[in-house]
Structure 1
Amino acid sequence: MQTTHFTSGEPAVVITRVAQRQWHALEDDRVVGRGEASARPDGRIFVSIDAWHRSVFDQLADAMLAQLPAPLHTIVDETDVELTAGWERAGFTTRRREWEYVVPTGSGLVLPPQGVTIVPRGSASEGPLRALDRVIRAEVESTVGWQEMPAEVLVRPAGDTIVDPALYAAAAEGDSYVGLVRVVQVTRLPRIGLIAVRADRHRRGIARALLAEVLGSLHARGIPTATAEVNEANPAATALFEGIGARRASSNLELVRHGG
């Protein structure tokens, strides 16, 4: 356990590293702030701080940044000006913006291209699904890099990012899958956590048909809307969601600190 004493600023606190990736700010033995670091599948380290007082935030940030390797990342709601300013004081700058979309579920039936069949969510075969996952992962790694994928894409020991096959719908062509979409329930609304199609099957309407399938199934269950996060730098994904009537509700910023 590592402890750092701060005697300047208000309030004066003691910063204690209570675990490998957790810090507490103590004032008179009372926790007045918490910091945490977590590693993403691609190796990036994301940090977060929960503190009401600006001085406590800054002291936690100083202690954490001194003990963690750069680069470091964090996610903030773009409307949270105070939190954003806190990270900027610590040397973080904006890396990218993600739009949060509210997606209507009653967008109607979309037929897949000839020769492609949509396998409903929960019915996809695990073997072809995992094979497609490996293909898409390799394609992403060789182009934009896995750091551009959604945060909830988790790597398994064999390099597999399929957490639960029951969460997926798939697009089948012959004996293999060429596209997939995952729907998760992380809040009160379902989230379109990932939608991906093999690079050699792009621009055929497969992604739109996959999206229509999962949205239609949600609509049939009486769920009027879902959510999705889209990287501002991904015009194809933006066009896909806005083309079915999705609207931007908020935005998040990913900030990065490269050290120094």
Structure 2
Amino acid sequence: MNTTPFPSGLSEDAVVITRVADRQWHALDDDLVVGRGHAQHRPDGRLFVSIDAWHDTAFDRLAAAMSAHLPAPLHTVVDEADVELTAAWRRAGFRVRRREWEYVVPTDTQFTGLDAALPPRGVTIVPAGQADESLLRAVDRAIRDEVEAAVGWQSMPAEVIPRSEGDTIVDPSKYAVAATPDRYLGLIRVVTAIRPRIGLIAVLADERRRGIARALLAHALETLHHSGFPEAWTEVQESNRAGSALFEGIGARPMSSNLELVR
């Protein structure tokens, strides 16, 4: 346990920043916990930090203590509408790295126009839970290698599902795939734990512009619609114009935006 005292100004006692675990800190004011900080490595290797504090002084001192003890770069994600929190991270030396839009996606394929979105000849859609795990892992790895060789996987949405090192498929039952007889060409991952969320849709580079992504999306939305979900959610990075065009073209509505900040 590591503690760092600071003059408070909030009371006659000092605010104490306490490292209560390997990547957890508390801010104490007169023995009262007035803030908590936490750091966690995401599956892509980036180190993300979060702070929940009662007031600016506790936040600023937690941020300073965490920044002093953790290796750079540090990342965090905030709702862009939360102006005060964004300003607090900026005071701590964080700058905007990217913006990510959250879309609400209707699932009725007659409304979206995806009712006629069929896969190209020779390609079939394998429903979630029925994919061959070895072929699924192979196409996931190939897509990730293509992204890493181009824009870099760190440009993709931050994934927060814990997984063992090197294992990029946590739950194969969440993936539907586009398949030929000998390999998979693309995949879509949908999680419905709290609300339906399209976490990933991707196609091999040499198979794009054939309507595979639309066919995967049509299948996933139709499945959700038949399960009683009128809407799904997804996030698209602001610079991903193809992704935004795909979802906006089927009537998806941008509802909010998140900022990824980095120090």
Aligned pairs (5 A) from 1:3-14: 3-10=3-10, 12-14=14-16
Q: CA RMSD in A?
A: 1.4
- TM-score, normalization by structure 1: 0.94
Q: Summarize the Cα distance change of 1:9–1:201 in structure 2 as closer, same or farther, 3 Å threshold.
A: farther
| Distance in 2, Cα, partners of 1:93 & 1:178 | 37
Show the 5 A alignment for 1:232-243: 232-243=238-249
Alignment map for 1:162-241 (pairs within 5 Å): 162-187=169-194, 189-241=195-247
SS of aligned partner of 1:241: helix
Kept after mapping to 2: 8 A contact 1:153/1:161: no
Alignment of 1:1-260 (within 5 A): 1-10=1-10, 12-108=14-110, 109=115, 110-152=117-159, 156-157=163-164, 159-187=166-194, 189-257=195-263
In 1: Cα distance, 2:147 partner to 2:193 partner: 24
Structure 1 residue runs of 5 or longer lacking an equivalent are: none
SS at match of 1:60: helix
Q: How many residues end up aligned between the 2 structures?
A: 256
- Structure 2 counterpart SS, 1:15: strand
Segment drifting more, 123-132 vs 247-256: 123-132
Tell me whether 106-115 or 69-78 shows the greater mean CA deviation: 106-115
Deviation at 1:158, TM superposition (A): 6.2
Structure-1 separation of matches of 2:198 and 2:9: 44
Unmatched 5+ residue regions in structure 2? none
TM-superposed CA distance for 1:69, in Å, is 1.1
- SS of residue in 2 equivalent to 1:83: helix
Q: How far, CA to CA, are the matches of 2:182 and 2:155 in structure 1?
A: 29
> 2:44, 2:159 within 8 Å by CA — same for their partners in 1?
no
List structure 1 runs of 4+ shifted beyond 3 angstroms: 153-158
How many Å apart are 1:7 and its aligned residue?
1.4
1:186 Cα shift? Answer: 4.7
Q: TM-score, normalised by structure 2?
A: 0.93
8 Å contact from structure 1 (residues 47, 73) kept in 2: yes
Partners of 1:13 and 1:153 in 2: CA distance: 32
Asked whether the 8 Å contact 1:155–1:161 carries over to 2, the reply is no
Query: Partners of 1:17 and 1:156 in 2: how far apart?
Result: 26
